[in-house]
């Protein structure tokens, strides 16, 4: 295989796998946090506002790791420095 095939193939594989693997843990972590938030609201309805606010901050923190992966995936698809150099 020549360089174009190798770099292209690798970029596709990694672009997909990065977001696929990278979405596993955030989804599980968010599911856990949301589930606990619902249990907490049922237990202490008067604190629903505080719970919601803390939940959203937490979800944003967790989402950030998924977004790191999405950014790398997009860079590999549309702003790939290795591909640009080889096909340039």
Per CB under 8 A, which of residues 39..78 are in contact with a copy of itself? 39-48, 50-52, 54-59, 61-66, 68-70, 72-73, 75-78
- The overall longest dimension of the chain from CA atoms, in Å, is 65
Residue that is written with structure tokens 């856990």 in the block:
32
Tokens of 62: 């967790």
**Size, binding site for a copy of itself by CB under 8 A:** 79
Distance in Å, CB of 20 to a copy of itself, minimum: 4
Which residues in 5-34 contact a copy of itself (CB under 8 A)? Answer: 5-34
């Amino acid at each position: 295989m020549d360089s174009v095939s190798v770099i292209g193939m690798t970029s596709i594989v990694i672009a997909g796998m990065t977001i696929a693997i990278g979405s596993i843990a955030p989804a599980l972590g968010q599911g856990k946090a949301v589930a606990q938030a619902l249990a907490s609201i049922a237990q202490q309805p008067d604190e629903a506002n505080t719970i919601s606010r803390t939940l959203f901050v937490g979800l944003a923190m967790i989402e950030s790791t998924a977004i790191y992966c999405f950014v790398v995936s997009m860079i590999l698809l549309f702003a790939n420095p290795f591909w640009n150099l080889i096909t340039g």
